[in-house]
Amino acid sequence: MRLGGSGPDPAIDWAGTVLTYAEFDEAVDRWPAAAVHDASELSPPEALVCVFAAARQGAVVHVEDPAARPHRTSVPDGAFLLVGTSGSTGTPRPLARTVASWTRSFEEFSSLVGLTPADRVLVTGPLHATMHLFGAVHALWLGACVTDNPATATAAHAVPAVLRKLLGTAPDLRTVIVAGTTLDRAAEQQADGLRVVEYYGAAELSLVAARVVPSSLTLLKDVEAEVRDGLLFVRSPYAALGTDEWVGVGDIAELGPGCELVVHGRGDAAIDVGGTTVLAEDVERVLGDIDGVRAAAAIATPHAVLGATVTAVIELEPGGRLEPIKQQARARLQSTALPRRWTVVEELPRTGSGKIARGRVKDSYS
């Protein structure tokens, strides 16, 4: 796994400390040799040195959430990176990757996002969330600078909820790379004037499809997809070790001409309201576009007659009031999708990448 920069060019600017590519390369070489490394509890600069050292040594490295490590009974042959799923719908599952399962996508990803070695790439979440680790490793492979400082960033990897908060603090931002959950209209409008690239993927698969907003999601050139009984299955050279040839993603999707992909949301997040299927993500996108709503989760609540109804669990913006939000929701949502129950919380539970942890919301509020 190469480093794209050299000499005095900045590789990492984190918490006010700058590490040049020469210093980063030396730190990688000095990292103690071992068959298995664990970067999970290291600072981001040290964790990235450890990851590149493991690749250089042909070793294995854990980058997992220290608070929710997946149970792992064995490590597959050829493994390099040991990570876990985000845990958005349950207990994190262990995954293992080769170096090639990521780096093979870097050329196409670079062409798509348009980053250069001159960019300062903001990482907005912990590295155990694979979208952030991918973004940091790609930036170093490219020769760009990885940073935690939005004031100097020219590009950023972020989920939509984080993007909305970021835009007012990053004056030099020109490119935003969005993943983790579907880009909502409010975030897209707030990012007007920036190059916004959205990609769809999964921890098991890495990148599946991408788009430059406002175009449509399109499968990456080496990725194949099928829709079976409404659910998406993917065959990819970027898949984690030990996965099936065709991986069932669990998302409701459609395939269009030209390898276009439309993802409607998690199959397990479909709510059957009196025989009508309501997709939680659709409700959440509508609620997220209403003034006064900072974030929203839609979950099913059992109902004796209808089978289930929709419950909305929302975070309010400062000054946001529930009654006007309900009125806007009534105007925008069909009756079956309209929440019958509303709960306002100070903060919704989230995964490390910033996605709403719907499984935990269900456990607490259904």
Q: What are the boundaries of each domain within the chain? A: 10-259, 268-365
Superfamily designation of domain 268-365: ANL, C-terminal domain (3.30.300.30)
Residue pLDDT, tens place only, 14-67? 998 999 999 999 999 999 999 999 999 999 999 999 999 999 999 999 999 888
Percent of the chain with pLDDT over 90: 58
pLDDT of residue 275: 67
Q: Is the pLDDT of residue 146 over 70?
A: yes
pLDDT of residue 89: 47
- Architecture of domain 10-259 in CATH? 3-Layer(aba) Sandwich (3.40)
Residue pLDDT, tens place only, 320-356? 899 999 999 999 998 889 999 999 999 998 876 677 8
**Can you give the pTM of this predicted structure?**
0.79
pLDDT averaged over the chain? 89
pLDDT of residue 52: 97
Q: Is the pLDDT of residue 357 over 90?
A: no
pLDDT of residue 190: 81
Give the model's confidence band at 92: pLDDT under 50 very low, under 70 low, under 90 confident, else very high: confident
Please report the DSSP string for 203-250 in residue order: TTTEEEEEEETTS--EE-TT-EEEEETTEEEEE-TTPPTT--SSEEEE
Q: How far apart are CA 236 and CA 220, in angstroms?
A: 9
Residue pLDDT, tens place only, 187-210? 788 888 899 999 998 888 899 999
Element (H, E) at 130: helix 130-142
| Residue 217 CB partners (closer than 8 Å, separation 6+) | 198, 200, 209, 210, 211, 260, 261, 262, 263
Q: Calculate mean pLDDT across residues 257-266.
A: 85
Q: How far apart are CA 188 and CA 210, in angstroms?
A: 15
Range scoring the smallest mean pLDDT among 51-65, 126-140, 230-244, 273-287 = 273-287
Residue with tokens 């946001």: 320
Q: Calculate mean pLDDT across residues 254-260.
A: 90
